[in-house]
Chain A
Amino acid sequence: MVAIMVALTIIGFVVLDLVIQSVKVKRARQEQLVRLDFSDFSVPVNTFFYPGHTWVNILPSGEVRVGLDDFARKVIGDIEAVEIPSRGKALKQGEKAFTVKSGNKTLSFLSPVDGEVTGINNVMLANPVQAARNAYNSGWILILKPTNLAANLKIMKIAEEAVAWLKAEIRRFREFALGENLHFVKDELQYEVGRTSQDGGCLTEGMLGRMDEKAVRFFEEEFLGKKE
């Protein structure tokens, strides 16, 4: 009986904490989603950033590891599923490489390099929400064997250049999301995009999930599309 009493006491404490947590989550949802802190982004200095918000790390084997960057992850919010090409598939820079799903929104990311898929992150497939939170470590998605790396790297940013570029992207997203300055927004989308800011002027994590489909497609084209 003592063993049962101790086991039940521990289970009781765990259940109590679960109840407290679920009440907290409900409250947080009602109040507002997590505020997106755009003023604190870490940028690994040896990582190459492709303009379509994917990153590339060159491994000692000569292969490259690819994932989506922290900016994209924060804008999208919790990544619930990832669609990854199978091993052996050949990809070209600027071609669709993988797709992520968050809520009812699906977004495609372009391959940052030409190459053949040689590895996929099973942890990311099994538990994308958790794995993607650490965008440059557990959040990697593919390993590619590059075939044209020197040329591919030319349009990517690294170190100080990457920092400056990401800062510019953050500003651009703020303008897009909060409708502060829509000079780059196509005419027919201005109304919808401007209307999406329901957060009293704050950028919040997973903001894209609360935008309508047109705005999401616009984001995909403007931020995840190939830029020269």
Chain B
Amino acid sequence: MLLRMPKITLWRIIIAVIAALGLYYTALRYTRGLGAVTNLSDKFPWGLWVGFDVITGVGLAAGAFIIALTVYIFRIDTYRPILRPAILTGFLGYSLVAVGLLYDLGKWYDVWHPIVFWNPHSVMFEVAWCVMLYLTVLALEFSSVVFERLRLNLLKKLIHMLIIPLSILGVILSTLHQSSLGSLFLIVPSKLYALWYSPYLPLFFFVSAVSVGFAMVTMESFLSRRFLGKGIELNLLNGLARVNVLVMAFYLTIKLIDLANRGVLGAVLSTRFESIMFDIETMVQVVVPLLLLLIPAVRTSARGLFVTSLFIVIGFIMNRLDITITGVEASSGTSYFPAFGEIAISVFLVTMGFLAFAFAAKYLNVFVHVQKKDEPPVAIIHDVE
């Protein structure tokens, strides 16, 4: 059998470099410890890995529970074609969160402790359990696609029978831990900058995760069409964008009310670095996308939806990193910028996520064409001489 060399493209070269650096720094982290790879310290123990890989990663994977809720619980079948890609993203996202934690935890080999040594008073305990359980739920939900590919129909049927309780469980777990990631910061009212600290952080975390969930499903669809030639129909994405307008408007409103109630609205106009970052993040995450999505031409164009979703995703990432890093830097008495090794590993994990998604989309029936009730079977014309 002849083995053909894969075509060398710029992206493949970039991925190879990222993988080589990622593997090198992984080896370094597990042989020489956190100090050899990161700029973390006792004064600043949560850096890029927690801020981006874990706290942002969980939010970016929120599309899965939103679409599962829409299709399985609300029975809006129109969105069924989005279900599998969204669940796959959720599953990969949460898997990367788990892997990211294994990098960040000093004693990574004790990661199983919350299963045995319970501390129900800790928010982290809740997050750990929710993430573990939800990852299991996502794995079970996605397993039906794998069983379908392997033609294990009995197992597929079994999962199908369990799908409603699994979805309900998934929605409950997601709601709990998306918000409890915000609760993590409720214990640092004096350390987190006033524009970000709020007793409503759990609510803000949850609502913004819903918004970014919609944006992520849209982004994935375009990226899949770009790289794999498979994607989701534009009118479905258009429907998601319309709902997202309401979610973002609600988010912006409660944020503004909260700032006003806490008497810190004026800080928005301050020239402090944190305030400027807060303003940029709010503009990118909510204001600009909201204005863009109010324009019908943007909402109904593929490019418009992609650009808007990109704004939401980048703004969301900035928000989580601002809360985890920017907002606590001043009170920690030190400054933090990730070491090259931290950046290399984060980029490596995201790239592995993309590759896993591409692999699954290529070999499994992820972008399934669901025949709608009003859509007929088609005859294919071949061989016209």
Contact = CB atoms under 8 A, between A and B. Distances in A.
B192 to A, nearest CB: 14
A195 interface: no
B233 A3 contact: no
B337 A2 contact: yes
Interface residues of B, number: 45
Interface in A1-56: 1-7, 9-11, 14, 16-17, 20-21, 38-47
Interface in B16-68: 47-48, 51-52
Interface in B310-335: 310, 313-314, 317-318, 321-322, 325-326
Contact of B234 (A17, A138, A159, A160): A138
Contacts of B382: 39-40
B44 to A, nearest CB: 11
Q: Is the interface of B mostly helix, strand, loop or mixed?
A: helix
Given A2-B321, A6-B318, A122-B300, A45 B377 contact: yes
A93 B29 CA distance: 74
A127 B302 contact: yes
Given A123-B235, A127-B302, A10 B314 contact: yes
A3 B321 contact: yes
Q: Is the interface of A mostly helix, strand, loop or mixed?
A: helix
Interface of B: 10-11, 47-48, 51-52, 226, 233-235, 238, 277, 281, 284, 296-297, 300-302, 310, 313-314, 317-318, 321-322, 325-326, 336-338, 343, 347, 374-385
19 contacts: A2-B325, A2-B337, A3-B281, A6-B318, A9-B347, A11-B314, A17-B11, A17-B226, A38-B384, A39-B383, A42-B381, A43-B378, A122-B296, A123-B234, A131-B234, A159-B379, A166-B381, A170-B381, A171-B384
Interface of A: 1-7, 9-11, 14, 16-17, 20-21, 38-47, 57, 59-60, 122-123, 126-127, 130-131, 134, 137-138, 159-160, 163, 166-167, 170-171
